[in-house]
Amino acid sequence: MLDEIKALDKEYYMNTFGERLPVVFTHGKGMKLYDDNGDVYYDFLGGIAVNALGHSHPVFTDAIKNQVDKLLHTSSLYYIENQARLAEKLVKSTCAEKVFFCNSGAEANEGAFKLAKIYFYKKGIDRYEIISLDHSFHGRTLATVAATGQPHYQAPYKPLTPGFKQIAPNDFNAVVDAVTDKTAAVMVELIQGESGVHPMDIEYAKKLREFCTQKGILLIVDEVQTGMGRTGKLFAHELYGIEPDIFTSAKALGNGVPIGAVCAKAEVASAFEPGDHGTTFGGNPLATAAGLAVFDIIESENLLDNADKMGKLFRLKLSDIMAKYPDKVVAVRGEGLLIGIELKPEIAKSVFISLHNRKMLTSLCKGLTIRVAPPLNITESEIDLFIDTLDTVLKEDI
Ligand SMILES: *Cc1c(COP(=O)(O)O)cnc(C)c1O
């Protein structure tokens, strides 16, 4: 089947993903993905931090099957039971007081930008600029590209949406210098995922929070990748001991069913009044059934605890690998089950490909860092399988 799908993809699909890894998966179970030959792969990437519960989780699958049998979509003209209940869940489990659902991470960030802008607009204050960080990733829409601090994503789309600028991360003076009387918000990832798993300094994060409060600027935390248990807390800002004015969620929130969320303090959220923002699909009965099931399973299976414990164990075992191969492994970074393994530049790509050939799925960030973001219910023996394979790769293949 692979050859046929490759040919169809080449002929009909826009070439935004280029030569993909030569595999097509037909089904999955837990950490395992099966290709069309029946070969088994281990999903240490979790669909890029999406499949928090692993594949075909029975309780999750039942929940969305039940919803499919009942109702998929009605429109936002009517009240939606699951939407209201999932909003309640998010509010009761976080520092947010109001929630809005959409369909993706980028769309959630767009919602956050709009909310930040309209918040000042409704007050009659002329603040509209949004400051974000170098090496950040906030999505692929025009505004989120303007916020994404990576020139190669921005260059083809100039002129960029105005009102965005980027500064160096972990440099408090850079924020102080960048803020003007037009600044509406600062947006950050507490762990920059896409650029290679770079956790923000905790002191910087705290100072930034304080500074934004002092200046009357909103702090937006993009938790699209770090949220829903990925770091061992429900949201990474809990790890940092700070409360954003707005934070966004997506990826793991639906465990593979597309959903995003804009979460905010009530005072900020009140700027959105009827007609100011909207969506056709966002928060529909199916997507929010998925979100509710994710919440239930995270709670009933104690997955925050597991992500924390297994994450620590994973990073410990990776540090041993780093100690064993000091000329190959440069750093191990991360929190919970969002982990980056930085390698020497000359070997990184081959390590990534070797892991793939040995059936371990990861991603390679910036050609340097292997990112793993496995399901939150990962076990120690699955971690050992990865560690042993990485050990073999570094010993025999490289
Ligand atoms: C993946 C990601 C996004 C974009 O999410 P999409 O669902 O692809 O639009 C935004 N921010 C961060 C931090 C991400 O990791």
User: Is 305 tagged catalytic?
Assistant: no
Is 189 touching ligand 1 by the criterion CB < 6 Å? yes
* Cα 35 to ligand 1 centre (Å): 26
Phi, psi for residue 166 in degrees, rounded to 5? -120, 150
| Closest-lying ligand 1 atom to the alpha carbon of residue 194 | 15
Quick: pLDDT tens for 276-303.
999 999 999 999 999 999 999 999 999 9
Write the residue with the smallest CA distance to atom 15 of ligand 1. 225
Three-state SS string over 236-282 comes to: HHHHHCCCCCEEEECHHHHCCCCCEEEEECHHHHCCCCCCCCCCCCC
Site to probe by mutation for ligand 1, drawn from 130, 137, 189, 237 as the one with most ligand atoms within 8 Å of Cβ, is 137
Ligand 1 in contact with 342 (CB < 6 A)? no
**Which pLDDT value is given to residue 65?**
98
How does pLDDT run across 299-336, given as a tens digit for each residue?
999 999 999 999 999 999 999 999 999 999 999 999 99
User: Is 137 one of the annotated active-site residues of the chain?
Assistant: yes
Q: Which secondary structure element, helix H or strand E, spans residue 130, and what is its range? A: strand 129-133
Share of the chain above pLDDT 70, in %: 100
Per-residue pLDDT in tens (0 to 9) along the chain, 398 residues: 999 999 999 999 999 998 999 999 999 999 999 999 999 999 999 999 999 999 999 999 999 999 999 999 999 999 999 999 999 999 999 999 999 999 999 999 999 999 999 999 999 999 999 999 999 999 999 999 999 999 999 999 999 999 999 999 999 999 999 999 999 999 999 999 999 999 999 999 999 999 999 999 999 999 999 999 999 999 999 999 999 999 999 999 999 999 999 999 999 999 999 999 999 999 999 999 999 999 999 999 999 999 999 999 999 999 999 999 999 999 999 999 999 999 999 999 999 999 999 999 999 999 999 999 999 999 999 999 999 999 999 999 99
For residues 187 and 121, what is the distance between their CA atoms, to the nearest angstrom? 18
Query: Is the pTM for the entire model greater than 0.75?
Result: yes
Residues forming beta bridges with residue 246, ordered by sequence position = 220, 264
Rounded to the nearest angstrom, the distance between the alpha carbon of 251 and the centre of ligand 1 is 7
Q: Does 328 participate in catalysis according to the annotation?
A: no
Q: In the prediction, which pLDDT does 364 show?
A: 98
Q: Does the Cβ of 105 fall within 6 Å of ligand 1?
A: yes
Q: Given this model, what pLDDT does residue 105 score?
A: 98
* Contact partners, residue 119, CB within 8 Å, separation at least 6: 184, 218, 268, 271
**Among 114, 117, 222, 247, which one carries the catalytic annotation?**
222
Task: Give the ligand 1 atom nearest the CA of 139.
Answer: 4
| CB 322, CB 5: distance < 8 Å | no
How far does the centroid of ligand 1 lie from the alpha carbon of residue 80, in Å?
26
138 lines ligand 1 (CB under 6 A): yes
Which one-letter amino acid corresponds to residue 281?
F
193 lines ligand 1 (CB under 6 A): yes
DSSP-derived secondary structure letter, 224: T
pLDDT score at 245? 99
Please name the residue that has the structure tokens 């088994």. Answer: 40
Distance (Å) from CA 398 to ligand 1 centroid:
32
CA of 221 to the centre of ligand 1 (A): 12
Q: Which of 251, 253, 279 to mutate to test the pocket of ligand 1 (most atoms within 8 A of CB)?
A: 251
